[in-house]
Chain A
Amino acid sequence: MNADNSDIHRLLDEAFAGVAMTPELQDLKEELRGNLAASSAELQAKGMDAAKAARTAVAELGDIP
């Protein structure tokens, strides 16, 4: 489970790259991390591999920050 989430951490950092971080945004980023992990886990339970599940979960978020 931890190994699976490394993709999420990376994609999340990329999504927030260049954004001036406020405490509110940091909070949102952490919230997204937990939700992306759950979303990715659901996709993997349907047979998707970890990398694709992470990408899909992030793509489905839309423009958050």
Chain B
Amino acid sequence: MTPNTRASAAPNESSDAFASDLLRGHTDTIVLGVLREADRYGFEIYKTIRDATDGRYEIKEATLYATFRRLDKDGLVEAYWGDETQGGRRKYYRITDAGRAVYRQNVLDWTATQQIINTLLNLPNTDKKETAR
């Protein structure tokens, strides 16, 4: 939560005690989710993800740019330039209808997967189950 720790640390998401591999596999869906409510530019997307997790998950910015390109190519988002006159123009991303459909499907898939994993990780002791019958 210290705001500036990231400045000195190497960009390494795996220092936190959760599986960043798992998260990385959902980057597309996470970005689509961030864009559901409003068009946003790159740093804003990065910041939204960072702040929503209290800094526990900082997507690598390089990963984000690769994601933007892929989502754009697949027609799931559209990019456009803002009309900022100072401080550099910003490239905004807007989610498309196809992007919303993919987002909804991915959330359904994740919910189903999550339930299966939770079930499998909490299998009751089979011996006890037998005797309880």
* A and B form one complex: yes
User: Is B6 close to A, CB under 8 A?
Assistant: yes
User: Is B65 close to A, CB under 8 A?
Assistant: yes
Q: Indicate which residue in B44, B61, B89 contacts A64 across the interface (CB closer than 8 Å).
A: B61
Contact (Cβ within 8 A) A41 B7: no
Contact (Cβ within 8 A) A5 B88: yes
**Given A35-B42, A38-B41, A38-B43, A60 and B6 contact (CB-CB distance below 8 Å):** yes
Contact (Cβ within 8 A) A64 B87: no
Per-residue 0/1 for B43-65: is the Cβ within 8 Å of any A Cβ (1 yes, 0 no)?
11011000000000000111001
Contact (Cβ within 8 A) B42 A31: yes
Nearest CB in chain B to that of A39: its residue: B43
**Residues of chain A lying within 8 A (CB to CB) of residue B75:** none
Contact (Cβ within 8 A) A41 B11: no
Question: Once the chains are docked, how many angstroms separate the CA of A24 from the CA of B46?
Answer: 21
User: Is A20 close to B, CB under 8 A?
Assistant: no
| A interface residues, tally (CB under 8 Å) | 28
Contact (Cβ within 8 A) A38 B61: no
Query: Shortest beta-carbon distance, B10 to chain A, in Å?
Result: 9
User: Is A14 close to B, CB under 8 A?
Assistant: no
Question: Once the chains are docked, how many angstroms separate the CA of A38 from the CA of B12?
Answer: 22
User: Is B126 close to A, CB under 8 A?
Assistant: no
User: Is A1 close to B, CB under 8 A?
Assistant: yes
**Residues of chain B lying within 8 A (CB to CB) of residue A35:** 41-43, 46, 61, 88, 90
Contact (Cβ within 8 A) B4 A37: no
